[in-house]
């Protein structure tokens, strides 16, 4: 067995290790004695990235947010979660103001109430909002592409209307309507580009 020491002293195994159920239980118990939160995740395939190879941040779990909320000492939280002090500090700065505002907005007593349940609801609401924002942006990008496509087709349509005016099939009002449509499309295009940037 080869143990690698990677970025910031993190440990990793060089290759998968076969263990018995008893050994697995002992390893998990050891990690639980060192870290407050230990998540067990089943992997379908062998992970080729190693800790020293590249930076791959992990998502914060509900249990970790609970500890972040309950314990003020950054060094202690860092030690308990096996995360860097900077990671803990940054996450606290992101999480706590939003969570406190959410509690106030929803009339939740974050001191006496069921903090686990509140964190769970808060995280679910944040994820739902992110999903809606992504869907809205995708919709706006599609609309932007459609407007750009339609604007590119206008010169050809203008020529066609001019030909039809010459043979008496259209009149000048049709050309004016096309010009008005072009102005509206350009305004909408400008608005969407500003919104997406």
**pLDDT tens digits, 78-103:** 988 888 889 899 999 999 999 999 99
Within the chain, what is the greatest distance between any pair of CA atoms?
Answer: 91
Look at residues 27, 46, 49 and name the one whose alpha carbon lies nearest to residue 38.
Answer: 27
Looking at 56, 85, 101, the residue that finishes a domain is: 56
Instruction: Indicate the residue among 18, 41, 56 that finishes a domain.
Output: 56
Given pLDDT bands bounded at 50, 70 and 90, which one contains residue 135?
very high
Reported as half-sphere exposure (CB side, CA atoms, 13 A), residue 72 has a value of 0
171 belongs to a structural domain: yes
Confidence of residue 146 (pLDDT cuts 50, 70, 90): very high
Which of the two residues, 35 and 157, has the higher pLDDT score?
Answer: 157
Q: Is residue 172 part of a domain?
A: yes
The DSSP output letter for 41 is -
Q: How far is the C-alpha of 101 from the C-alpha of 167, rounded, in Å?
A: 67
Closest CA relative to residue 86, chosen from 4, 5, 8: 8
Q: Does 174 have pLDDT greater than 80?
A: yes
Domain boundary among 13, 32, 56: 56
**128: in domain:** no
Residue 30 belongs to a domain: yes
Q: Which contiguous run of DSSP H or E holds residue 5?
A: strand 3-5
- For residue 61, being part of any structural domain is answered with no
- The lowest-confidence range among 7-11, 23-27, 69-73 is 7-11
* The pLDDT of residue 18: 82
Cβ atoms 47, 20 nearer than 8 A: no
What is the tally of helices (H) and strands (E) in the chain?
6, 2
Q: Per the domain annotation, does 114 fall within a domain?
A: no
DSSP code of residue 113: S
Number of domains in the chain: 2
Domain-embedded: residue 176: yes
Asked if residue 63 belongs to a domain, the reply is no
Owning domain of residue 167: 137-196
Angle at 55 between CA 99 and CA 51, to 5 degrees: 115
């Amino acid at each position: 067995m080869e143990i690698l020491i990677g970025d910031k002293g993190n440990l990793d195994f060089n290759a998968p290790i076969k263990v018995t159920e008893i050994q697995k239980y002992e390893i998990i118990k050891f990690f639980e004695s060192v870290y407050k939160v230990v998540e067990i995740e089943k992997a379908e395939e062998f992970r080729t990235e190693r800790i020293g190879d590249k930076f791959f941040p992990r998502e914060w779990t509900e249990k970790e947010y609970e500890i972040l909320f309950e314990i003020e000492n950054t060094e202690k939280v860092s030690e308990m979660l096996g995360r860097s002090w900077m990671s803990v500090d940054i996450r606290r700065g992101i999480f706590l103001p939003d969570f406190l505002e959410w509690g106030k907005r929803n009339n939740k007593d974050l001191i006496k109430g069921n903090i686990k349940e509140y964190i769970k609801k808060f995280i679910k609401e944040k994820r739902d909002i992110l999903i809606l924002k992504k869907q809205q942006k995708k919709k706006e990008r599609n609309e932007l592409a459609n407007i750009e496509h339609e604007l590119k087709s206008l010169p050809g349509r203008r020529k066609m209307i001019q030909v039809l005016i010459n043979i008496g099939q259209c009149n000048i009002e049709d050309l004016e309507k096309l010009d008005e449509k072009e102005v509206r499309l350009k305004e909408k295009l400008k608005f969407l580009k500003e919104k997406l940037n």
